[in-house]
Amino acid sequence: MYTIAMVIFIPFLAALFIPFIYKKIPTINIGWFVLLVPLILFIGLASYIPNVASGKTYIKTLEWIPTYGINFTTYLDGLSMIFGLLITGVGTLVILYSIYYLSNRESLGHFYVYLLMFMGSMLGVIFSDNLMVLYVFWELTSISSFLLIAFWSHRKQSRYGAQKSLLITVSGGVAMLAGFIMLYAMTESFSVREIIAVIGQYTDHPLFILAMILVLLGAFTKSAQFPFHIWLPDAMEAPTPVSAYLHSATMVKAGIYLVARLTPVFGGEATWFYTVSFVGIFTLFWGAFNAVRQTDLKALLAYSTISQLGLIMSLFGFGSAALNSGYSADSVIFTQATFAALFHLINHSTFKGALFMVIGIIDHNVGTRDIRRLGGLMALMPVTFTIALIGSFSMAGLPPFNGFLSKEMFFEAALNISTLNLFDIGTWGTFIPVVAWIASVFTFVYSMIIVFQTFFGKHQPQRLDRKAHEASPGMLTAPSILAVLVVGIFFFPNVIGNYLIRPAMSAVYPSFAGKADLTPHITAWHGPTPALFMTIGVIIIGALLYIFLRYWRPIYGLLPVRWSLDSMYNATLMQMEKLSTLLTRLYMTGYLRDYLAYILLFFIAAVGGTLLLLGGYSFNLSDDGPISIYELILIIVMMAAAIAILFAKSRMTAILLNGVLGYSIALFFVYFRAPDLALTQIVVETVTTALFLLCFHFLPEWTKEKSSRKSKITKGIIALLVGTVVTIIALAVQGNKMFDSISVYFEDAYELTGGKNIVNTILGDFRAFDTMLEVVVLFIAGIGVFTLIKLKAKKEDNDVENQ
């Protein structure tokens, strides 16, 4: 049964048909057809929930490159189920929202193709058991997100944001690929399940820690962890449906998924614990701190996303400590951090998706996202205000919203880490809950900014681009559903805990399966616990900071702009461009002789150096046949012709001497009884010589190049070295036969193929597939030429009509 594989490929297949449907039915919004894809996939995945909740997993393997252990293996368990439902569920709501958000004047065909490509890529990431297949889909998410972010390509900032996200995420992806290869070098497997089963034998391997760091680089860049977070705010230049999808429920969660999936591989190691926990906790603080200074609502949400991702990442770091010493009472306490991470992962997708859509509605209906120009919208946009209130208060961690439940669990996890002696954490353990609390205060402040500075206060219609009005019911449907989920999860959290998070916990802690119930009972009231007092403190201090915001906000101006990570990124990019320009001007001289010299020098260094280092220049001439007088004469003729070309004083002489070399090779073929090759060589040489003569006839008068003595010596040395290396290669290959010659097989051409001409049988039978591909290439080239001719003719016709 290939159901999960179909879930991955259906979005790609649908993307193939979108352009045709869009062209054939231009009057109907193509989004209604696209909406069916994630909706059907969501319903299909939801049908597996009861079986997955009972502990069942689904795995299917399609062989791809079995020789290297690369197979298309899909794996559905509790962890991939959560992400699959988020990708398809939120994807359905985002597409519904986009139908009303985007104008029919937009290039909707392209938009939905890119969106479906991204959806399929994300599904490929979470359902792939093979690391190499996962990497392929991982980079496809970077490419498709690049296209989505740059959708409004006429905007400079859109192009800049797309380039920035691509450079950072792909760089991290390449590092991650190196980590995957190291894991394969250790375990001889690309299967995540197989690696988890045997990794305990390799924790002392020299490549283990390095592979871990490289994998984390890929996860951190994709999930916008400090200092790689700088791409996310600029990616907000994408249309709001893209931001709501990529940066609340999908792309930025890919790194979170990778950390969760590989926790059984690297979890329990001090390096993993410290790196994931402290990078996450600092990202939480840095994102929240910078969100407060933003004046653009979408930029504020971007930094809030960075902060929330840091929170989730730190929780996975805390939870990884459970694997340090095996199953125990302490380890069960640590697993609650992972439970909180998964719970907040779901909660964040609901309230953040709703908030992105609300900001999109404000921008769409008012014409600005600038907080300084907004205010008093509550009476004019009551439904939008209600959704914004629910989403913001949930993000701030207030009841009765789902964010309150997971934020309380986060505080409890941070306090547990500080009280237990783990990895000699010492005073650093106290540092964690303090930073978590401070970051939560800033989270409360920017959540209040969204609500009060946008919807309360004085309405300023003269500063708005459009007259404020409530959005259409169609545009409000998707964020309203998410808002209902925010409240519904608060009152019925254990439905999520029992049916989704519990099986996911078994995937993160496979070694604890069957030893204890890793799913705590979620309640809103735990009594007067330290976590509750932390929340009360957040509300009190956060409210005071918001009230006096105008007095302390100037502290953001104390940090010079040139010291920001964005400025460093731009400066680095500029210096790299200058360096590349300098290098390009250095070697791009415009002279063919220089380019040939570079190529030949590289050949000498690469091939000659390899032969020298590996001792591959040895050869044995004892078994070689004697050189006859005819061969010697032809060799002398070719040498004389080659040397004479250097001293030729006219093009005619040089061309004729070059022809002598070609015809001499043909005579060699005749002597060695290869008439087919000789005939081919003669025909080719005749045609090329004639073409040379024809072309050079129209060139200006030939003047001998006046080179310096130093230049001539350099060229002579290069020529001698190339000739020496090629000669050594020929002798080494001839004198070091490791295997019987393959020509022995072709000598039976008549018996194998029925053909008497061995050359024809090689081309027609032994190399049939290669010949077919060559024909296909020529066919494609012909189509390209025909298309260019047609386009040019069409353009000329249009020019005539315009005149």
Identify the pLDDT of residue 772.
Answer: 83
d(CA 161, CA 164): 5
Phi, psi values for residue 131, rounded to 5°: -65, -35
Q: Which of 691, 701, 689, 705 has its CA nearest to residue 594?
A: 705
The token pair at 607 is 């091939």
| H or E element at residue 72 | strand 70-76
Q: First vs last Cα of the chain: how many Å apart?
A: 62
- Chain mean position to CA 135: 8
Phi, psi values for residue 74, rounded to 5°: -100, 145
d(CA 14, CA 9): 9
Cα 47 to Cα 41, 68, 123, 201: the distances in Å are 10, 35, 17, 38
d(CA 461, CA 459): 6
Q: CB neighbours of 122 closer than 8 A, spacing ≥ 6?
A: 83, 87, 137, 141, 250, 251, 254
Q: Which of 307, 290, 302 has its CA nearest to residue 556?
A: 290
Running DSSP on this structure, what letter comes out for residue 191? B
Identify the pLDDT of residue 14.
Answer: 94
Q: ω before 206 within 30° of 0 (cis)? A: no
Phi, psi values for residue 413, rounded to 5°: -65, -40
Which is it for the CA torsion 64, 67, 70, 74, positive or negative? positive
d(CA 244, CA 352): 8
Angle of helix 251-266 versus helix 208-222 axis, rounded to 10: 160
d(CA 690, CA 8): 57
3-state helix, strand, coil in the chain (%, to 5): 75, 0, 20
Going by their DSSP bridges, the two strands 70-76 and 58-65 should be labelled as antiparallel
SS3 70: strand
d(CA 72, CA 319): 30
Q: How many CB atoms lie within 10 A of CB 127?
A: 26
Amino acid at 45: L
Residue length of the chain: 803
- Chain mean position to CA 12: 17
pLDDT (tens digit, 9 = 90+) per residue, 400-452? 999 999 999 999 999 988 777 676 676 677 889 999 999 999 999 999 999 99
pLDDT (tens digit, 9 = 90+) per residue, 11-42? 999 999 998 888 888 767 889 999 999 999 99
Q: CB neighbours of 76 closer than 8 A, spacing ≥ 6?
A: 4, 48, 52, 57, 58, 59, 84, 127
Contact at 8 Å (CB) between 442 and 342? no
Contact at 8 Å (CB) between 126 and 84? yes
Running DSSP on this structure, what letter comes out for residue 61? E
Identify the pLDDT of residue 1.
Answer: 42
SS3 596: helix
Phi, psi values for residue 669, rounded to 5°: -65, -40
Q: ω before 675 within 30° of 0 (cis)? A: no
- pLDDT < 70 regions, the chain: 1-2, 27, 325-329, 421, 423-424, 426-427, 513-516, 621-623, 701-707, 735-739, 792-803
The token pair at 507 is 């995937």
Running DSSP on this structure, what letter comes out for residue 500? I
pLDDT (tens digit, 9 = 90+) per residue, 88-123? 999 999 999 999 999 888 889 899 999 999 999 999
- Chain mean position to CA 447: 31
Q: How many CA atoms lie within 13 A of 455 on its CB side?
A: 22
Cα 239 to Cα 155, 297, 469: the distances in Å are 12, 14, 20
Identify the pLDDT of residue 798.
Answer: 58
d(CA 594, CA 611): 25
Phi, psi values for residue 622, rounded to 5°: -65, -30
